[in-house]
Each structure stands twice: as C-alpha cells, then as structure tokens.
Structure 1
C-alpha cells in the first residue's frame, strides 16, 4: 500500500467532511449565536462524542485493527478475520446497549457532575439534560461505525470510513435548514440530527464492509480466546483513552463555569483547530497503523520505524505551517467563518484569541497520532495509559492555575500545554525502548520547515495589515480577504520550503509527474 495514496484518500475525504462541518458551524453560529441554548446543545453533543472517542476510536484503533490485520494476513485469511469480528461484535453490542441505557437513566446526575455550572440556571440545566438524552444513542451507533471502519481500514479500503463523518454534518445541516428559528427549537432539531447522522454513518460502513466481503452475522455472546485477547489489548487502551477523555470532560466542567458563550467560543475555535488535526493527524495515524502492525508481525522493526519517520516528516511539513497560519490569521478567519446574525463581532474576537492559543499545541496533537501506533502495533496499550494519567494531573493543575487569572484563555493555554506534555512523554519512552527515534536528518528537515513557516507567518502578518479593510467589511469581503491570505501563505511557504530543502523534492517531483501522466 502506498502511504501517500492512502493519506490522500483519507485526508481528501476527511476534508470533504470538514467542508460540510464548516458549513454546519457557520450556519449554526449565525442562527444560535453564543447563547445559552447553544451552550446547552454543545454540552449535549460533546458528551456522547467523548464516549465515542473512548469506546470507538480508543478501543478499535488500539486493539481491533492490529488483531484483525494479524488474522487477515495469517493462515486463516479473511474467514478467520471475519470470525474474529463477529465474536467481538457479539460481546460489544450488548455492552453498548447496557451502557447507553444506564446513562439515559442517570442523565441528570451525569450532566450535573460534568456541567454543574449550569445548575444555578434550572431552565438551562433541564434543557442540557433533555438534549443529551436525545444525542446519547449516537454513542452506540458511532461505536459500531468504528468496528466496521476498523474492518475496512484493515482491508486498506479507507474511502467509506473517511467519508462517513460527512453524513453527520449533512444531517445537522438539514436540521438547521428545517428549523432556523434559533433557541431551544433549533437546539432540539440539532440533537435529533446527531442521532439521525449516526444511523446514516452506520448504514454506509456496514454496506461497504458487506461489499468488501465481510458481512457480519450476529452471534450469541461468548468470551472466546479471541475475545479475551481483544479485551486484554483494548481494556488498557480504553483506560488510557478514558483518562484523556476525562481530561476533556474536565475542560467542559471548567468551561460551563465561565460566562455564557464560553462553550461556543471553545467549540468554534476547536472546529478550526480540528481541521488540520483530522486531515493530517487522523489520516496519518489511520494509514500507518496497519503498516506498522504488519512489519512488527513480520519481524521487521526497522521498516516499522521507517514508516513512522516518513509520517513524522510529512505531518510536520503540513502541520507547522497550518499552526503558524492559524495563529497569525485567527481573528480574520473566525470573523469570516462565523461572524454574522446572532454571533457578534465581540464573540468572533474572543473566539479568534482562543484559537490563536489552542493551535500552539497543534503540532503535538498531530505527532501523538503518529507516535501512538508505535505502541499499539506492539500490543502495548499500557504505556499510553500511564502517560495519560500524568497529562490528566497536569491538566487539572494547569486549569486551576490559569483559568482564575485568564478565564477562557487560560483554559485554551492548558489544552495546548497538555498536548505537548503528552507528545514529549510518548516520544521519549518510544525512543528509550529503541523502537523509534527522530534521526538527525529529520530534525534538520523539521527545523527548515519551521523556518519556512516563520517566513510564511511574516508574509501573512503583512498581508493581513494591508487587507484590514476587507476584514471589517461584508461577509463576501471577509471571505475574499481570507482567500487572499491562504493564497499568499501557501505560495510563500512552498517556495521557501522548496528553496531551503524543507521537503523531499524527489517525492514532490514524483507526485507531479504522476499528475501529468494522469
């Protein structure tokens, strides 16, 4: 499998999903504003998403894909891998049902624990509980999506799994267009759209897996040796993801105790931060895990390290300029994307400042996606648990230290700092074990990428000053200004990076020749 092709497929379709996601957020900001109803919905949406990352991404990225790949490439082939999937599904499905049912029953207590800042406003608290009960079944649906996505990714069929998130955004967009009145009615429509989106996603990946020859039957739940092996890998990974997700819930806890609109500011800034993270980091992590697992299984650790090194180089080539660009143009970008209707210029300014702080951790977010497959491919899910505990403690301490003097900006700074703590800990451990190290040539390449990024940042700063009138104008003018910034930044970065050797010129020339041939 060609790494660049795989990343292109995943990243390209992820970008399609992100475009729909931006359309959704742009419309939602104008209809909902930074209101109490918007905050209530965002909490209701965040809670099932937090457990989605815990059960779905945490469990299946760490445990399912390597174990499925081992069986698929082993003597039993596809039939053995399919049997393994059915055995896991037989146990996983009822577990998810029970978990969802329990949380539906205890939802008021759960919301109070996570968003106790709303308890002083009974109407807002009750709305948050009601909306969360509607969105929570999304957890069950998206966890099953993760299982079928794991099957497809193991078969190197990335398209359906990468495109599936777009269906959630389409469903939520439809809800906004059908009920554009704002307030509680639109928040209710959005919550229903979340669950409908989960149904659409599951239908897509289930059908794609069936076409790929993996049509899973429902078996009687049984703890087979394969299921035991799966849980031995997954439970530590889930605990590790759980610690990280607890950190996310702690951020929600602190955000709900800040002034009204804080959840909205955090959401819209994170939406822009997530674009490069998902397109670059998720694409790389998804693409390299099956490859590293295969090389480890074949006893070729040097090849596994080579794949990780290639992924680090490519991720930083794309991520460093993305982080610097977002920091420099955060204000104009947020104004162009979200300002309008009920989302005021003051809301946009606060959101832009939050974004400029959060993106300082973006390279670390992406590197974690590249580094952790080095543990998961070796069935080591305990080490990320230990580092996650350290990060959790650091997150709590930083929140208590930074939020009182700096408010929402302190919360953003804590998020960025914790991402670097996690990244550094994981890399140091992997390096000490001799599994992967950033070689001298790669450090040099990264330093040149950073230099090119600084040149791009300077060009963006000057261009932003020249186009100040555009960013204070109409929506069209603001969008034109942002397009000009993107063009200038991209051209300057590519020219400088090419000139000083911040990229592998041979790889770029090969890609260009392929495009010409096609």
Structure 2
C-alpha cells in the first residue's frame, strides 16, 4: 500500500477541474445530441425520469451520504498508519456496500412501475409514457450499483490524492451515451431505449476503468460484507443524517420532477436541459474544490490542526465565489443565446427554447448558493458532524416545498426552478452560520477588498454582455458555425475582461495557494 502525498489544494483543484471540464464538455455534446434526437416530447420525458431515478440515488447514497461518511473514516484509519486495518476497512466496506446495493437493485427492477409512479406520478395519466419509463428504468437502475462501486473507488483514490482518474471517469458515461445516440438509437423502434442501454453500458465501463488504478496502489479491495466492523458501523451511523445534509439540492430536484410530471408535456425536459447548463460551472469548479477539500479537511481534523482547518475553509469560499458570481451572471444574461447555440436543432423547437430559458434563469440565480454548499458542507462532515447538516437540510427542504407551492402556479416549471434556487440560499446561509457559531470558520483578513475586486469585475462583465451581445432573432437566424463562433468569442472576451480586472486590482494566483 503506497503512502499518501500531501498536495497543494489549488493544483489538485486545477487537475480535477481540468478533467471535469473534459467530461462536462462531452456531457454537453451528449445533451445536444439527445435534444436533437428526442427534443422535449414524451420519449425525452420518459428517458430523463428513468435516468434521473438511479442518478438521484447515486448522488444521495454514493457521492452524497456515503462519500461524506466514508472519506473522514478512511482518512482517520490512514492517518494512523496501520495498512492492515485500512485494508480490512476497505474490504468490509466494499463488501457491505455491494451487498446492500445488489438487493436494492433487484427489488427496484421488479417494482419499476411503482417506482415510476412514486417519482413521476403525473405519468399515470398516460399509460404509454408510464410503460415506456418503467421498461427503461429496468435497464437503467443497475447503473446505481455499478456507479456506486465506482464512487467507492473514487473516494479511495481521492483520499490518496489521485484526483485525476476519478475526475476523468465520467467521460466514459458521455462517450458511451454519444455512441448510443449515433449507433444504437437509430436502429431501435423506440430511440429512447438506446439511451437506456447506453447508461447501463457506461456503468460497467466506468467501474472497470478505475479498478486497475486501485490495484497499482495496493488498495484493490476483496469485498467481504462485515456490518459488525467498527469502521463500517461508524460509516453507517454517519450516513443516515448525511443523506439529507449533503443531498438536499437533489431531493429538491426530485420534488421538482414529481410536480413537473403533472404539468404540460415537456416540463420535465425543460427542467433537465436548464439543470444541465447550470451544472457545468458547478461541476467544473464547485465539485473540484469540494473534491479536494474533504480529504484535506478530514486530515486536518484528525491531526487536530484547527487553525489550518479554518483557513482552508476560508480559502475554499473565496475560490468558489470568484467563479460562481460571474458564472451566475453570465448564464442569466445569456440564457437564450446559450440554449439556441447548444440545443436549437432537430426536434428542439423555438417554444422549447423559450420555456427552457425561463427555468434556466431561475436556476442561474441559485448557482452561487449551490457552489457554496459544496464547500460549506464538508466543514461539518470532515469533523464527522452529520447531525447539524441534517437539521439544516430538513429546514431547506421544507422551505423548498413551501416555495414550490407558492411559485408553481404563477410560473409553472420556472417556479419549481426558482424554488430550488431560493431553498439553496436557505441551506447555504444556515450552513455558514453554523460554522461561524461553532468557531470552525473564522473570517480571514482581506474580504472587503475581495468583494470590491470581484464585484467590480462582475459589473464590467455584465455591462459588456448587456450592450454587446446580439439580439435573440440574430442567434435564431445564424447557422451552427456562426452561433458557436459568436458564443465562443463572447465567453472568451467576458473571461478576459473579468480576470484582467482582477489582475489590475492586485489579485494574484499566488494568493490562493494552500497546502492540503
């Protein structure tokens, strides 16, 4: 078993961000092709629900609750420098996780119509859509088992500061689904079924990709279910509350899907496409920082380095704000041009673009909060405090339901998106207040100047986009090359203006170096 290296968080975050960017760009290509193939009709709605159910559970159990509970316990075992105990923990955890997920998968495949009814009850009024979604869910649900084991491998690799491989792994999901759109779907009577098979194949490929890298580190587990192992018991104890604490945004999106299933056909798809766009900056930057900071914070907590712990949290907050503020502003102002450039082809209509833009602007408002949650929640989980986030999560979820009931009637699917954004701010605000009250997060010097620098850059960026971006009719009249060229120019110019302002006002890359 190889020793862990101590890495610079900025460098590690850049590696994760770069690998994730490749995946997200391919994911956007995938979604463009799906939109062209299926548009926002009944087949698209059925596939997105069949894909969202295992994907939601993956984020809840694997990358959400399990990851936040497993990494701190694994870091503690590894810090004690006893390789045999660490191996026993890996074997017991892998075996227990595989056993539970296998049972869940078998039950879900057998009960797929009931699951669809629970997650999208509005489909019950359309027997064809309900049956199609159920059939696809039987194919897609085993993805939960495969991708959760992949997430286990990723957590181990991240804990040993091998961030690149886990960050690159989702590329194979996107490549496999692109292949399904190009090769399999055209050969099937129901094209959406090809995407379902693509999801299942992607799960096998992603797990197979990571196993050899664990083997090179001497960390490849021999799965042996052992729920009595002390480490497994602690993980299970921490997982329960973490289900709510770190995954409130996903639960809120589930509530949106349930309510959207009662709205007009296309509502589920409009929410999906807008969610995919806001996930781009969140996935590249927010997830990158969260990925590298959780094991680092866990190590600092294990070694009782409280001052470094607090400075690391402050560093993470500044990192995500530098990106999330201009990203949210740009997505809000460029909603229609972005959607036209990416999705206005094939079966995607002008009406679909208009409806998707409404929910995209609402979700863009929440980008800042979504990214803050990514770095605030690890401040609790690294200290193995799962109770505080769960209390906050319940409050945020209740707020989301209240916002939904108020906003869904006047704003339809856009109201659901806005409710999710507002609930995210409730969540982020309460997490920050909890860390401040506990003395875990201590505000470091320089925040006033930081706000002036970032605020000034956002002001310049917003003014430039408002005055210089061509009107919507021009984007609709252009062909794909003209749209892509203009959008690329707008994005590059905006980034250049923003970061030039930061540099002119004295912000330097060296200010953000932080050792893990």
- TM-score, structure 2 normalization: 0.95
Query: In the alignment, what sits opposite 2:3?
Result: none
1:25 and 1:433 map into 2 onto residues whose CA distance is 43
Deviations 1:244-287 (A, max 9, x none): 54333211101111111111111111111001101111110110
Query: In the alignment, what sits opposite 1:484?
Result: 489
Query: In the alignment, what sits opposite 2:132?
Result: 127
Deviations 1:178-203 (A, max 9, x none): 14549962210100110110111111
Q: Is the 8 A contact 1:48 1:138 kept in 2?
A: yes
Q: Is the 8 A contact 1:460 1:488 kept in 2?
A: no
Offset, 1:407: 0.7
2:263 and 2:257 map into 1 onto residues whose CA distance is 10
Higher RCO, 1 vs 2 (CA within 8 Å, ≥6 residues apart):
2
2:463 and 2:265 map into 1 onto residues whose CA distance is 35
Q: Which of the residues 409, 418, 427 maps onto 1:422?
A: 427
Residue 305 (structure 1) aligned with residue 307 (structure 2): no
Q: Which of the residues 49, 63, 69 maps onto 2:55?
A: 49
Q: Which of the residues 14, 23, 26 maps onto 1:17?
A: 23
Structure 1 segments (4+ residues) deviating >6 Å:
none
Q: How does 1:430-509 map to 2 (within 5 A)?
A: 430-439=435-444, 441-465=446-470, 469-501=474-506, 503-504=507-508, 506-507=510-511
SS of residue matched to 1:219: coil
Q: Is the 8 A contact 1:29 1:342 kept in 2?
A: yes
RMSD between aligned residues = 1.9
Offset, 1:397: 0.9
Q: Is the 8 A contact 2:332 2:365 kept in 1?
A: yes
Q: Is the 8 A contact 1:470 1:481 kept in 2?
A: no
2:439 and 2:284 map into 1 onto residues whose CA distance is 29
Q: Is the 8 A contact 1:455 1:492 kept in 2?
A: yes
Q: Which of the residues 98, 101, 108 maps onto 1:93?
A: 98
Q: How does 1:31-180 map to 2 (within 5 A)?
A: 31-76=37-82, 78-180=83-185
Q: Which of the residues 242, 253, 262 maps onto 2:258?
A: 253
Query: In the alignment, what sits opposite 2:362?
Result: 357
SS of residue matched to 1:370: helix
Q: Which runs of 5+ in 1 are unaligned?
A: 512-518
SS of residue matched to 1:465: coil
Query: In the alignment, what sits opposite 1:514?
Result: none
Q: Which of the residues 270, 278, 286 maps onto 1:281?
A: 286
Offset, 1:507: 4.1
Deviations 1:94-133 (A, max 9, x none): 1111111122222212211221111111001111111111
1:456 and 1:335 map into 2 onto residues whose CA distance is 21
Deviations 1:354-395 (A, max 9, x none): 212211110111111111111011100111111111111111
- TM-score, structure 1 normalization: 0.94
Q: Which runs of 5+ in 2 are unaligned?
A: 1-6
Q: Is the 8 A contact 1:116 1:256 kept in 2?
A: yes
Q: Is the 8 A contact 2:249 2:420 kept in 1?
A: no
User: Number of residues paired by the alignment?
Assistant: 508
2:52 and 2:134 map into 1 onto residues whose CA distance is 12
Offset, 1:35: 0.8
2:190 and 2:157 map into 1 onto residues whose CA distance is 38
